[in-house]
Amino acid sequence: MTVTHAPGAELPHVVVVGGGFAGLAVVKGLAGAPVRITLVERRVYNTFQPLLYQVATGGLNAGDVTYWLRGLHLKQPNVRVVHEHLVGIDHDARRIRLLNDEWVDFDYLVVCNGVTANFFGTPGAKEHALPMYSRSQALRIRDQLFIRLENSAFSETKDDGLRVVVVGGGATGVEVAGALAELRTAGLAPAFPEIHGDAFEVKIVQRGTELLKAFHPRLREYAAQELERRGVSLHLGAGVAEVRPDGVLLTDGTEIPADLVVWSAGVGPHAEVDDWDLPRAKNGRIVVGQDLQVEGRPGVFAIGDIAATPDDLPQLAQPAIQGGKQVAKNIRALLEGRPTEPLRYFDKGTMAVIGRRAAIAEIAIPGTSARIKLTAGLAWLVWLFVHIMSLVGPRNKVTTLAGLVTRYGFPFHRRPIPIVGEVPTVRPPKREPEPHEAETTDVSQAEPARQDTGAAPSDHAAQEADTGARRR
């Protein structure tokens, strides 16, 4: 679809819905283009989701992995940021409706609002499990983690600790479990002498028989061995049938007690996408063609996790970034009357970190189908470099590098200090006096006290009240 404008007329309007990897790639790809851009995002910031597990486990501040979206306007004047929700699309009138009932006209529309946690209809999962797909969810996990640890510190037995179950054996699940195990071993064991080390349990539940299906078998085996060496228990071959307030029930009938359940088993589209009148695949994602235009909707694009591409690209950062760049090129082509081009995706590889000096990586060699397979410290250094360089903004790069160095680097890793939030004051339960103690207090202590002071009962009470007031 080509949009023509007479000289002096208002510039074509590109509306981008979603400020994630894909949305930022589109916006930056249209820098200097003869268009007006409106970026619609429900949050005022962009989130670097690959490092959210570091926020959830106290390794990084939330601000280290978020970027203020209005900062885009400082270098790109053709961008306007609107902090609102998209609730409807009028395709005939070519306009969208926001939650505040504002209508925004568009010449080109790019839908890249991402996805959210998918509980797959598992009973109790939505009520009792904690997903980790946004900054607020990561902070909730962090706060619940330390609240439960403080509660365990006042338990009557050192064996009553914290039991964490991570549902899902993909990259997110492995990284969360590895970070929790490392936090337990290096930081919390000396800080919580009230809790026996073995009482802080970390378990991964995976429906399949292996972790990290997207990786080479040799790398999967290395990751499993590293997790077990760090004290993470693996429950493979059975999914979660139910999440309960005190644990999970597996499909094979196994019951696993849990104080905290972290859900990283899968994602799905937001519910509001149902109202946007866009073609959907079986998994709920929006169906697009090779050039990433929505089928039957010329001038409307969908990219990132929400898009079902003909090549079935994975829901990762690189497909979203490369898709965003291609959409920007195709919009420029339509403005100039040229045909659009298909996305030629280049798989740069994948990686996952288990802990300090332990990671796996598959890096593609340009021009060939071969991949370099890395493990241990070298893979960890590659992971660190890629993630730091992928962050938006120089401040985020510096603060995140400092945070990860102090968590993993020598000799800081031996005494890590996790970042914590608001933890309510935890007090030990009041102990009821034994019968013989109550009798001793009433007879042998209370009565002689009045005899020693020589005061009447009422005078004695007044003296005690006055003494308590002075102490307060």
Within 10 angstroms of residue 403's Cβ, the number of other Cβ atoms is 19
Q: Which of 175, 182, 201, 362 is catalytic?
A: 175
Coil, strand or helix: which one is 348? coil
Q: How far apart, in whole angstroms, are the C-alpha atoms of residue 49 and residue 59?
A: 14
- 362 contacts 216 by C-beta, under 8 angstroms: yes
Strand partners, 89: 96
- 71 contacts 82 by C-beta, under 8 angstroms: no
Q: How far apart, in whole angstroms, are the C-alpha atoms of residue 91 and residue 22?
A: 22
Q: Under 8 Å CB-to-CB from 472, ≥6 apart: which residues?
A: none
Coil, strand or helix: which one is 330? helix
Instruction: Give kind and range of the element (H or E) at residue 354.
Output: strand 349-355
Can you say whether the dihedral through the CA atoms of 314, 318, 321, 323 is positive or negative?
Answer: negative
Strand partners, 8: none
Strands (E), 274-332: 286-287, 300-302, 307-308
Active site residue 175: yes
Q: How far apart, in whole angstroms, are the C-alpha atoms of residue 69 and residue 285?
A: 25
What are the b/e assignments for 3-16, b being 16+ CB within 10 Å? beeeeeeeebbbbb
Angle at 280 between CA 279 and CA 282, to 5 degrees: 150
The two beta strands, 66-68 and 79-82, are unpaired
The DSSP secondary-structure symbol of 57 reads T
Name the nearest CA neighbour of 207 among 177, 179, 169: 169
Instruction: Give kind and range of the element (H or E) at residue 324.
Output: helix 317-335
- 185 contacts 223 by C-beta, under 8 angstroms: no
For residues 64, 41, 318, 350, the Cα torsion angle rounded to the nearest 10 degrees is 50
- 124 contacts 243 by C-beta, under 8 angstroms: yes
Strands (E), 168-296: 200-206, 232-236, 240-244, 247-250, 255-257, 260-263, 267-268, 286-287
Q: How far apart, in whole angstroms, are the C-alpha atoms of residue 404 and residue 388?
A: 10
Q: Active-site positions?
A: 175
